Amino acid sequence: MQSKGLIKFLVIIVALACLYSLSFTFVTRKVEREAEAYAGGDIAKEKAYLDSIAGETVYNLGFAKYTYRECKSYELALGLDLKGGMNVTMEISLEELIKNLADNPKDEKFNASLNSAIQKSKSSNKSVVDLFIDDYKASGTSQNLASFFATKDNASFIKTTSSDSELKSFLQKEADNAIQNSYKVLRTRIDKFGVASPNIQIQQGTNRILIELPGVNDESRVRKLLQGSAKLEFYETHDNMQIYPLLENINRSLASSIKSSETPKPVSTTDSTAVDTTQKEDNLLANLGANKGNNQDSSALAANLANENPLFSVLMPSIYQAENGQQQLAPGAQVGIANLKDTAKVNAYLARPEIKSQIPSNLKLMWAVKPEHRSPNFLSLYAIKPLPGEHGAVLTGEVITDARDAFNPQTNAPEVSMQMNSYGAKEWRRITAKAAQTKASIAIVLDGVVYSAPTVSNEIAGGSSSISGNFTIEDTKDLANVLKAGRLPTTAKIVEEAIVGPSLGQAAIDSGVNSAVIGIVIVMIFMVVYYNRAGWAANIAVLFNVFFLLGILASLNAVLTLPGIAGIVLTMGTAVDANVLIYERIREELRLGKSVRQAIADGYKHALPSILDSQITTFLVGVVLFFFGSGPILGFATTLMIGIITSLFTSIFISRLIFEFMLDRDMKISVSFPWSEKTLQNANYQFIKNRKKFYIVSLIAVAISLGFVFTKGFTLGVDFQGGRSYTVRYDKVVDLETIRKNLDETFQSTTEVKTFGSENQVRVTTSYHITETSDEADAEVLAKLNEGLSKEQGNKYEILSSQKVGPSIASDIKGRAAWSSILSVLIIAAYILLRFHKWQYSVGAAVATIHDGIILLGLFSILDGIVPFSLDIDQHFVAAFLTVLAYSVNDTVVVFDRIREDVSKSKGMNKYFGDVVNQAINTTLSRTIITSLTIIFVLAVLFVFGGEVIRGFSFAILIGIIVGTYSSIVLAAPTVYDLGKGKAIAKPAEEKVKVVTP
């Protein structure tokens, strides 16, 4: 084995990297178990405990230290289907954006064209902007479309004479800005919500933003938070020196109030750093400043400070060290800084009734949006001066026409350039002139948090300003986005929503882990029983494969979902598939009389092309799923692709290293038992001769399947048809017809009710208010659902999860599913053409995969409503469907590789193509069946133990693998034979054809 040392080195490096990536998950789980034990079931107490240690070091590697918050960001996160929580898709209203940019014109053709474009966009690949411009041009009006958008606010970007291409560029840029700015606003709001490991991303190529909030259980609060309008405001501020006396009074009041209600804890006086409790108040600043940055841990100091100065023990006043060495109050609007874990306590102190009464009406204390780079665990508090009235801001974000990140021409430091409209320019001049007199600050506030509070040096006229400070380039980009968000001419609405309760999530974890463990055990037992000692080598490689897979997922910050666990289980099958190919080839080499060492070397060499071709085709399908899927399907695609890479690495290299280790020590290596050694060894079934019989059987099966597809059809999942779906668990067994009748009466429409898992658990799907996505519509549907469910007297129930999909996004999901299926077949055919250089192979593979797809669809239609589990056509089914196609081609490619090899060996021999094809099928028959069996084993485990959520998913792949095994043997290769131009490969080389001329 060449480069053995390099391979060992790679294995060690990859193993250490994976162990490092997974170690953060081990640490966070340990901390969370401690928090759970400390809280004793009190969720609020558990969260407070975790918040309190968020900034503390919990993982010390010597060369690096990590806080709990940092460890949490690096852990292998669980998806909502495993952890529970809320999954939301926000859609930016491009219709509203375009109307607002044009000042909501009443022109009939303008509005008709826009409405038409919105409708067409649901089934078109063109953007709303393109469709709108095309429809308006087709309306026959003579008015230039750009004239509607040439408003005062847009004067610097578009004119009445602008061309359609210029208008398109403007509208597309504004649409992109709206999406980016909405993303920024939502990102900040989610961070404020305090969700652990949130995931928010823009769905590329669309006007949608995908949001995952693990562990959330206050859905109404989330909806309100996410759908509220972005509110940008400019405020005058108080100076720190003005506010410090008030903070002193608050501190004294709190100390007095706390002392009267609590017995102070005794303070040790043996520590030399203890604070003298008799110190005067005028020395407080000096003592606070002396403590600032002190790395010596002093429990006595902390105890005294908390007793005597409760506010200042958690909120450090904004101070600096003057030239004389004394602590002085820092000028500006920042009045304090607190550790992130203490901000909740500061808020609680300020919210106490006796403290609120001391805070004047012209003072608001607001936190900064995020920590400064120099103090990543500390948050600044600002003193805002609201004016009398409802809002109190001196200016709102509506006056901003543009904002962008830039660099100061003199210092080259990052800054933000901001432009205002005429009204804003006039007001800004007045505001800055007043602030400049006292070098006061103007706070830029969005959604109640301070993004910046720059000091005003001079009056600013003309409406063009530059905001500078201790900014990074990323800071200026964020602030520019915030300023543009202030004139956000559109709103974001929830168009898709899924809520998973924690109890259902825990059940998913249990079923997923159980299925994974049982699956790996069964596969390992089979490999040892069938392949003897070589089976142990394969098992070690499989264990390394799972370890590497989890480590890479953790290093990529991937989210593990229930389909992702299914992907891990399937990866075991692909890892075994590669080993089976190798072992079957080794057995062939041994039959030729080669030594064990030579047979192993040749077995790996000859199996490699088939392994690569079969795994690459599956990987390509994973790529398609990755780009077209979302949520759990994205997790499945990620796991599948990474699993294929790790499977190749472990099966080719690690198992080979094990064999080399055994050979070097003269250990006996066997790849079979006596009973399994000759399994299908001399198979000589006449597949080519009987191919027409198989064609007839397949045509009949395809015809029946298509008949059911077009007559009976399918039950579409909520993500394909839109609507709302709920998983409900009753205390006792329920009758489906009774539940359905009760709900039909309540909703006054047909409701779909199915058993979901056990007989006391049902899934309810309704199209009531399907086109409405407002909070009011959600509340009404939920109220009617509860009304109908509660008619089941004496049987309590619990809603475990819910899902909402708007009709527009359902249409989009269906379109993406169709395109992903077509693209997968085309990609597979193109790859096979590239590898085998003959179109007959591509057509043969395409025929087999299309056959498998139709049969699978037919079976789902035939069995829907007959089998006792859901066979809905949804995103999970699409993932299973494409996986089936990939595994079908996997088997087919192995046969094709053997045909290519045998054709190459048969050149110069008087041998017919049909004989070569038949021999190739029979030679690979053992591998095809054994591989299919191992995958069928793991899929059967998934089907039985994987839980109701993925039962239909695992059933689809299970049936698909069986059908795919059949088609790869009796359809794909025979089709290649029938499409070949000649039945003979070649005549002997010495044979010449004589041309006789008369």
CATH number assigned to the domain covering 723-805? 3.30.70.3400
Provide mean pLDDT across the span 241-264.
Answer: 81
Largest separation between any pair of C-alpha atoms in the chain: 132
784-841 residue pLDDT tens: 888 888 888 888 888 887 877 766 666 666 777 777 778 877 888 888 888 888 888 8
Task: Output the six-digit token pair for 468.
Answer: 């500078």
Least confident of 430-444, 487-501, 829-843: 487-501
Top-confidence residue, 443 or 182: 443
Those residues with Cβ within 8 angstroms of residue 387's Cβ, 6 or more apart along the chain or in another chain: 236, 362, 393, 394
Torsion angle in degrees (nearest 10) through CA of 981, 984, 985, 990: -130
> Is 980 exposed, middle or buried, given 0-12, 13-18 or 19+ CB atoms closer than 10 A?
middle
Of residues 865 and 84, more confidently modeled: 865
Residue whose tokens read 């797809």: 853
CA dist., res. 442 & res. 427, Å (int): 13
3-state secondary structure of 255: helix
Q: Which fold has domain 501-712+812-985?
A: Multidrug efflux transporter AcrB transmembrane fold (1.20.1640)
Confidence of residue 273 (pLDDT cuts 50, 70, 90): very low
Average pLDDT, the chain: 80
Q: Which residues of 292-308 are buried (b: 16+ CB within 10 A; e: fewer)?
A: eeeeeebebbebbbbbb
Q: How far apart are CA 642 and CA 688, in angstroms?
A: 37
For range 742-754, the mean pLDDT: 82
Pairing of the two strands 559-560 and 77-78: parallel
Model confidence at 983: pLDDT above 60: no
Indicate the pLDDT class of residue 337, thresholds 50, 70 and 90: very high
Is the pLDDT at 626 greater than 70? The verdict is: yes
DSSP annotation string for 312-323: TTTSEE-EEE-T
Count of C-beta atoms within a 10 Å radius of residue 268: 11
221 pLDDT exceeds 70? no
CA distance 247 to 312: 9
The domain spans of the chain are: 4-75, 89-227, 501-712+812-985, 723-805
Q: Evaluate if residue 111 carries a pLDDT over 80.
A: yes
pLDDT at position 257:
81
d(CA 833, CA 654): 31
- What's the pLDDT score for residue 731? 86
Percent of the chain with pLDDT over 70: 86
Residue 695 has pLDDT above 90, yes or no: yes
pLDDT of residue 269: 35
- The phi, psi pair for 755, rounded to 5°, reads -65, 135
Judged on CB neighbours under 10 Å (0-12, 13-18, 19+), 828 is buried
Rounded to two decimals, the pTM is 0.69
